[in-house]
A and B are shown apart, each in its own frame.
Chain A
């Protein structure tokens, strides 16, 4: 489909996909880690300064 330029077009798309996928994965992983950490801290009874009691 790309003929002679495939050697340039394919890496361009692959690298773009890889970087974008990397961003998504990184963002989601950080979210999960931090959410877990917050839940654990709350379970241990640590409160933020003006937080109401958790339900």
Chain B
């Protein structure tokens, strides 16, 4: 409670109903939205995660994979998020380059570390799933390689965001590199269809009927929703942090000016 009051002191109140993303182009307005919406997001994330974990840990054993199928419940959502976050970043990149939304760059920068973390989890849990399943920690098949490439792209973008000082140049650079790298996403998605190597093909989004039993499908979907909620919660918090960072920077520059000019 005290936290919310303290933050509200920093920002002015808002009370207008949202009509479009442009209503929140003003960082202050956006922060007001975050304050209102965040508690609900946190609650939903925790509840969903709890339900998902309970369902996952109580799922039956797969006749082929045994108990290791339980790794699927944290591997597949992480992998889905790794790609979804990059898509969010790509939309943000378009927001910077095409529509020039002031918060698009904030969104991109806040999402990058989260995406990198999910990709890392996808790689690690995938490796831990692969060893008992296929007998090897790593293999250079199409999907694993392209997910590793995605990880490198995330790290490169984070490095770039710290390297360029001038904010507008940095925003443009990040947006362009993000969009150029987007070509990797369809490669990841379709790599298991194009190259029939080791990783198993898609079994959830087949449009006829999912090739997965509901005993596994439901926990998987709940965990996927939980991971998605987790991302959006952390993303909103991250955007808030980024807005604060810019404010501190401009306040410090302002105070330096005041000290000089009086």
Contact = CB atoms under 8 A, between A and B. Distances in A.
In the complex, A touching B (Cβ < 8 A): yes
Nearest to B118: A19
Nearest to B250: A48
Given A5-B68, A31-B241, A48-B250, 9 more contacts: A8-B71, A8-B131, A12-B75, A31-B240, A35-B7, A37-B248, A38-B10, A38-B244, A44-B255
B250 A8 contact: no
Interface residues of B, number: 41
A38 B251 contact: yes
Interface string A1-37: 1111110110111011001101110011011001101
B230 A35 contact: no
Interface of B: 6-7, 9-10, 12, 57, 66-68, 70-71, 74-75, 78, 113-114, 117, 120-121, 124-125, 128-129, 131-132, 230, 234, 237-238, 240-241, 244-245, 247-248, 250-252, 254-255, 258
B248 A38 contact: yes
Given A1-B67, A3-B67, A47 B234 contact: no
Given A8-B132, A41-B255, A23 B248 contact: no
B254 A47 contact: yes
**Closest CB pairs A-B (n = 7):** A34-B244, A46-B255, A12-B128, A2-B67, A12-B125, A8-B128, A12-B71
A32 to B, nearest CB: 9
Contacts of A5: 66-68, 132
Interface of A: 1-6, 8-9, 11-13, 15-16, 19-20, 22-24, 27-28, 30-31, 34-35, 37-39, 41-42, 44, 46-49, 52, 54-55
A2 B62 CA distance: 12
Given A31-B241, A54-B9, A41 B117 contact: no
A41 B66 CA distance: 58
A34 B75 CA distance: 33
B71 A41 contact: no
Contacts of B238: 27
A12 B68 CA distance: 10
Contact of A16 (B78, B131, B245): B78
B121 A19 contact: yes
Given A34-B248, A46-B255, A49-B250, A27 B241 contact: yes
A2 B248 contact: no
Contacts of B258: 46
Nearest to A22: B117
Nearest to A27: B237
A38 B247 contact: yes
Contacts of A16: 74, 78, 121, 125
A31 to B, nearest CB: 5
B152 to A, nearest CB: 18
